Amino acid sequence: MQGNPADLTTRHLPGLPGQKGSGTDGAEAGRTVSWWRRVRGTLLGCATALAGFLYVVLAGTLLGPFLLWPRTRARALGVFGAGARRQAGLERKRRSSFFGDRFPEHYEASDRRVLRYLAARSYAGLLCALVIGLLGCGAVLAGLLTRGMLRGSLRWEELLVQAVLGGVLLFLDLQGLRSLLALDSRLARACFGPSEQELLRRRVDELAGSRAAAVRAVDAERRRIERDLHDGIQQRLVALAMLLGRARRGRDPGQADALLRQAHQEAGDVLAELREVAWRVYPSALDSLGLEEALGGVSERCSVPVRTEFDVRGPLPRPVETAAYFVVSESVTNAAKHAVATAVSVRVLLDGGVLTVCVQDNGKGGADPAGIGLSGLRSRVDALNGTLRVDSPEGGPTMVTAELPCA
């Protein structure tokens, strides 16, 4: 199997239970196709199956001696495979045009897989043509039976036997046709795109990786909170205790009053920093006020002017709200502390079941996507099957974009 697996989107798997649609990489298309279009595609498939069968037989016969001779085998296989690829390309266009299938653009199957597909497709298509022919013969016989019934040349016993036999044959014929159409779809998926088992295996690997990344992100966040508490709040509390101790031991009322005022200021600063740490753990405003008001709180606490555009109609899932808040909070904090930015713009848009969060600043750029903060955001977004992009060239500007599915 050839092709770059990175070009395949495995967020949504075609044909797996519990998913709506198949994304852009599955053989099953998300668009609706009329039954008449499918009928035309099936009839055309019978003709292309005959063409594929004739190609396999004639090309195999003509190239047979060259395939047996070792010196010409590689070139003969190349010629044979090139023709098979052209035949398979026609089948791919037929599946896309008449059945609405969508396959990976940069996925290319091996010559052996294409040859296997062409042989199996020819057999299935010719068998489908035979079943359709039997269905047509049954329709003719049903017409003759109806004609005889109208003329009165059939007794009711003969009519009952013919009707039961015809009904059973019609049922078997339709079931066979349905199975052959499903086989045609499975063969196309196996040749033109990854199989369901392969996509499922990739999805399991992706989920295992995102789970490990989420655990690492939580651990890193806990270490950062511990560092903030130890290096910030704990030191301030020690200073506050020292000020109160000096004020209690002091004999000069004026000096004691000054120390108490300083201790009062220090207590206010400790409360502000503790509130900031609590907001980084979880913003309580999300529960009481919603995402828009919580983002407004981020703008108010930031030392850099933040312009926020919020275009979301309707409620959002709680995990999506939380992830969007942390994307904005972390990006705005980085812009104020590290990027030396003078302006930040935040845009939150809900479109088509996907929440897009874009944070842009005019700072110096050079943000490291592998840093603790941004890697933690990526893990949080990946856990929701979203994507996070960081564009931060040297000299700026920096743009952080997160896309979070809400379904």
- Percentage of the chain beyond pLDDT 70 is 82
Give the pLDDT score at 190.
81
Phi and psi angles of residue 356, each rounded to the nearest 5 degrees, phi first: -105, 125
User: What average pLDDT does the segment 178-199 reach?
Assistant: 80
Give the pLDDT score at 322.
84
Give the pLDDT score at 218.
67
- pLDDT band of residue 213 (cuts 50, 70, 90) is low
CA dihedral in degrees (154, 159, 165, 166; nearest 10)? 80
- pLDDT band of residue 159 (cuts 50, 70, 90) is confident
Q: Residue 295 belongs to what H/E stretch?
A: helix 291-301
With b for 16 or more beta-carbon neighbours within 10 A and e for fewer, the 319-349 pattern comes to ebbbbbbbbbbbbbbbbbebbebeebbbbbe
User: Coil, strand, or helix at residue 329?
Assistant: helix
pLDDT in tens, 61-81: 888 888 888 888 888 888 888
pLDDT at residue 3 above 50? no
DSSP string for 186-244: HHHHHHHS--HHHHHHHHHHHHHHHHHHHHHHHHHHHHHHHHHIIIIIHHHHHHHHHHH
Most confident of 217-221, 295-299, 370-374: 295-299
User: What average pLDDT does the segment 374-383 reach?
Assistant: 79
Whole-number Cα distances in Å, 390 to 310, 343, 396 = 20, 18, 12
Higher pLDDT, 53 or 104: 53
Give the pLDDT score at 314.
79
- pLDDT band of residue 358 (cuts 50, 70, 90) is very high
